[in-house]
Structure 1
Amino acid sequence: MISHPLSKPAHVNGEPPHVIFAGGGTGGHLFPGLAVAGELRRRRPDLRITFVGSGKSFEREWVASAEFDYIVLPCSPLPQRFWHLPGFLLDNAAGYRAARRLLREKHPSVVVGLGGYASVPVARTARRAGAKLVLLEQNVVPGRANRWLARAADAVCVAFPDTVERLRSRGEILVTGTPIRPGFTNVTPERDRRRLLVLGGSGGARSLNQQVPLALYKVRRHLQGGEIVHQAGEADLDATKRLYDKLGLKADVVPFIVDMPRMLGWAGLAISRAGGSALAELAAAGVPAVLLPYPHAANDHQRKNAELFRDSGGCVLIDSREHDGRIDRPLAESLGAILSDPLRRERLSYTMQCLARPDAARDVANIVMRLAADKPLPQRLPCQETSAAASVVPPPLRRAPRPSRASETDREHEYSLL
């Protein structure tokens, strides 16, 4: 049965195109969307842009600061316990109804799914509304929402070539890198090896808040005269401050770092989780890193991200599961080795810059604009140069055959780095 659009896209009626970004929740999902939206607004000031999310204060504040419209849609994550299932079904049924009303009213030309459960109602409804669907995937292992939505997408923009074979899509799968906010590549580094930056994600990480200070105490002789900035999140802020005070370490413990480009230009070394967006920002700034992937991440995607960077020579990887959850000792050993070896720090920094794709926001914006104008996607995208310091040009994007296990009816072509 043929599905008819709920409405005509805005540009068909002579109005400026309207792009809706759906999802968010965490910085890892939201910030790539804000980066692409900013690039679109820079090119087309008349373009209408709306963000749709779950209503979390984090989303509201960042979207408001970027001066985009924001709409709350009912939605819930897949419950871990079966007795929560009725509430999940009710919330998401309401979300789908609200998504249909929203798209009928807004007439978007393109919906950009940012990943996560909050992206599903609007992204799933996009096709019936006559809108093109673009998905952003920041991790080596795609999230559940994007795996499900990819089959109906017109384009899926992924960060890593290894992700291509993990997705099936009716449209194009393009390796663009992860879009990052402006400022990460043009900041002037003022690095000192004794300047340490601790990043537990946009909401902080309790295990890092509890164990990283212990590791830093063990290598305190390497940090004499240095500085520590620790992003701890709101929940553990006071406890983390008290732990540093107890250990006699001077640290600036903050709930969240707003000006991350400036901070990455300042840092000589980072201790970080391994979400895709965090890695893209570290790479663009060329910051050497010790990665501590979140052990309970869905499909172990943070470990997979970290392994890719480690195998490329851009970071050190410490998995807490290999140390019975205690990371302070192996972390102290790794930090001591890096802090005492300037050549190793330079190699790590160089390799991180080689892994960067600073033009990802530009390339995703190109895809969105072409789809909004009903133009076919190009067979080849421009090469994306890394920073001048790295002097590395990645190979061009070109079409690659879909893995053999795909069905014959789905056997389109995908973009991949070869």
Structure 2
Amino acid sequence: MPANSHVLFAGGGAAGHLFPGLAVAEHLQRRAPKTMITFAGSGKVRERHIVRNAGYHYTMIPAQPTPHSPIQALRFLTDNAMGYCAARWMLREQRVSMVVGLGGYTSSAVVRSAVARGIPVVLLEQNAIPGRTTRWLSRSAALVCAAFDEVRPHLHVQAPVTVTGNPSRPAFEKLYAQMNRRSGASKARFSEENNGRRKRLVILGGAGGARSLNENMPKALSKLKDQIADWQIVHQTGEGQLQATEARYESAGVSALAVTFIDEIASVLFESDLVVCRAGGTTLAELALANVPALLVPYPQAVDNHQIANAKVFTAAGASRMIDESSQGGALNSALSRELSPLLSDLELRGRMAGKMQELARPQAASEIAGSICDHLSGSLAPRVAA
């Protein structure tokens, strides 16, 4: 592998896109410590902070998501045109050897520029229904690393797809390895011997929170007070929603620990018994490593309903249950309490679901993708010509 290789990870914006890229970058750095690694994104403060804290260079590329108004349409055209030009200049000036597209609107300009310049591209696709960048440019990619086999019908028949699973953060990989070194540890939470301990229910809406879960979970749990008497409730609210969520729990008479953000999310999930959350691909991959059953409430405004497609895969496997929020007609709290009731009371059911969740775990995803990147840069994989 050339000593002066430079790999650019493009995209992010949402944590579900950024964290897989960081996971792959860490494995790539272990395999090829002399490789230069850069991240390019939209410039969000939290994104810059996370990338730089991980020790990587970060550069901003102008980009805007799909517009919903005439004013947004103007910015969409101007910013994305500037982003494309900036990306072409950066790829040339920084002598980028490969671009890894992480998905999201911020990846499109960089990936398109790389294809135009003949620079090899690897695309990470976290969802069962691929994003626009993956659909548009998969045929020109050196490799598409997919989390779900279900992406194949949505891509060109000649797209070089391999199903690797979704890369998970290093903390999840580490705890998964520790759990599997301890014989039977993964089943201990769901054994009769542990039935007397206080169990933990975690509610997650992603780093930004989920307003509908913040509004409806306190009411839902108030209907299940007898069943949650021996449960610890931990609720991640997201920025700006903590006080209102705490007030709802107090009004509902439910004892819950509400926090804006859970920093040590891996250790929390590995010691939890049940999760209520959205259905982003990265979240599901990490739940699988943590071996914890879930009630999934897919984000109803996700592009192409990709979160519902993700949730259907896990639900069909028996690892989760799902509520389609868009079909509830304003009665989400009733649906939540109805679906949670058997999950809270039936230890055997949770144990079966945890076993199915573990079957979906792909702990080698990040390492496998990093290995493919190294193989391509060293010439082990045949280059593809841009279509």
Q: TM-score, normalised by structure 2?
A: 0.90
Alpha-carbon shift at residue 248 of structure 1 (Å): 2.5
CA distance in 2: counterparts of 1:116 and 1:126, whole angstroms? 16
CA distance in 1: counterparts of 2:343 and 2:84, whole angstroms? 51
CA distance in 2: counterparts of 1:47 and 1:245, whole angstroms? 52
For residue 224 of structure 2, the aligned residue among 216, 219, 234 is 219
For residue 124 of structure 2, the aligned residue among 136, 144, 148 is 136
Counterpart position of 2:60: 72
Kept in 1, the 8 Å contact 2:3–2:34? The answer is no
Kept in 1, the 8 Å contact 2:3–2:35? The answer is no
Alpha-carbon shift at residue 130 of structure 1 (Å): 3.9
Counterpart position of 2:183: none
For residue 178 of structure 1, the aligned residue among 161, 166, 172 is 166
For residue 37 of structure 2, the aligned residue among 49, 54, 61 is 49
Kept in 2, the 8 Å contact 1:194–1:339? The answer is no
SS at match of 2:284: helix
Aligned residue pairs, count: 368
Counterpart position of 2:192: none
Tell me which amino acid in the other structure corresponds to 2:82: A
Tell me which amino acid in the other structure corresponds to 2:362: R
Q: Unpaired segments of 5 or more residues in structure 2?
A: 180-185, 190-196
Give aligned-pair identity as a percent.
46
Kept in 2, the 8 Å contact 1:24–1:114? The answer is yes
Is 1:39 the counterpart of 2:27? The answer is yes
CA distance in 2: counterparts of 1:308 and 1:259, whole angstroms? 27
Structure with greater contact order relative to length (CA < 8 Å, sep ≥ 6): 2
CA distance in 1: counterparts of 2:250 and 2:260, whole angstroms? 17
Kept in 2, the 8 Å contact 1:152–1:170? The answer is no
Alpha-carbon shift at residue 127 of structure 1 (Å): 2.7
Is 1:195 the counterpart of 2:183? The answer is no
Alpha-carbon shift at residue 15 of structure 1 (Å): 4.2
Counterpart position of 1:146: 134
Counterpart position of 2:194: none
Counterpart position of 1:396: none
Is 1:89 the counterpart of 2:99? The answer is no
Alignment of 1:235-314 (within 5 A): 235-314=240-319
Kept in 1, the 8 Å contact 2:198–2:232? The answer is no
Cα distance, 1:343–1:377 mapped onto 2, change above 3 Å: farther
CA distance in 1: counterparts of 2:89 and 2:158, whole angstroms? 26
The worse-fitting range, judged by mean Cα deviation, of 336-345 and 185-194 is 185-194
CA distance in 1: counterparts of 2:23 and 2:271, whole angstroms? 22
For residue 211 of structure 2, the aligned residue among 203, 206, 211 is 206
CA distance in 2: counterparts of 1:225 and 1:311, whole angstroms? 30
Tell me which amino acid in the other structure corresponds to 1:222: Q
CA distance in 1: counterparts of 2:361 and 2:300, whole angstroms? 25
Alpha-carbon shift at residue 187 of structure 1 (Å): 5.2
CA distance in 2: counterparts of 1:31 and 1:169, whole angstroms? 29
Q: 1:349-390: per-residue Cα shift (whole Å, max 9, x none)? A: 000000111110011111111111122169xxxxxxxxxxxx
Q: 1:42-94: per-residue Cα shift (whole Å, max 9, x none)? A: 22222110000001122112112211111111111120123432221111111
Kept in 2, the 8 Å contact 1:109–1:130? The answer is no
CA distance in 2: counterparts of 1:325 and 1:266, whole angstroms? 33
Kept in 1, the 8 Å contact 2:198–2:230? The answer is no
More helix per residue: 2
Kept in 1, the 8 Å contact 2:144–2:160? The answer is yes
Alignment of 1:366-381 (within 5 A): 366-376=371-381
Tell me which amino acid in the other structure corresponds to 2:308: R
CA distance in 2: counterparts of 1:317 and 1:136, whole angstroms? 25
Q: 1:190-227: per-residue Cα shift (whole Å, max 9, x none)? A: 84673011111221110010001111121122222421
Give me the CA root mean square deviation: 2.0
CA distance in 2: counterparts of 1:51 and 1:169, whole angstroms? 30
SS at match of 1:75: coil
Is 1:122 the counterpart of 2:100? The answer is no
Cα distance, 1:325–1:367 mapped onto 2, change above 3 Å: farther
CA distance in 2: counterparts of 1:376 and 1:143, whole angstroms? 25
Tell me which amino acid in the other structure corresponds to 1:306: A
Counterpart position of 1:228: 233
Alpha-carbon shift at residue 151 of structure 1 (Å): 2.7
CA distance in 2: counterparts of 1:220 and 1:47, whole angstroms? 55
Tell me which amino acid in the other structure corresponds to 2:95: H
CA distance in 2: counterparts of 1:22 and 1:56, whole angstroms? 14
Is 1:164 the counterpart of 2:152? The answer is yes
Is 1:321 the counterpart of 2:326? The answer is yes
Q: Unpaired segments of 5 or more residues in structure 1?
A: 1-10, 379-409, 411-418
Tell me which amino acid in the other structure corresponds to 2:177: N
Alpha-carbon shift at residue 284 of structure 1 (Å): 1.1
Alpha-carbon shift at residue 138 of structure 1 (Å): 0.7
Kept in 2, the 8 Å contact 1:110–1:133? The answer is yes
SS at match of 2:261: coil
SS at match of 1:200: coil
Tell me which amino acid in the other structure corresponds to 2:337: A
SS at match of 1:223: coil
SS at match of 2:50: helix
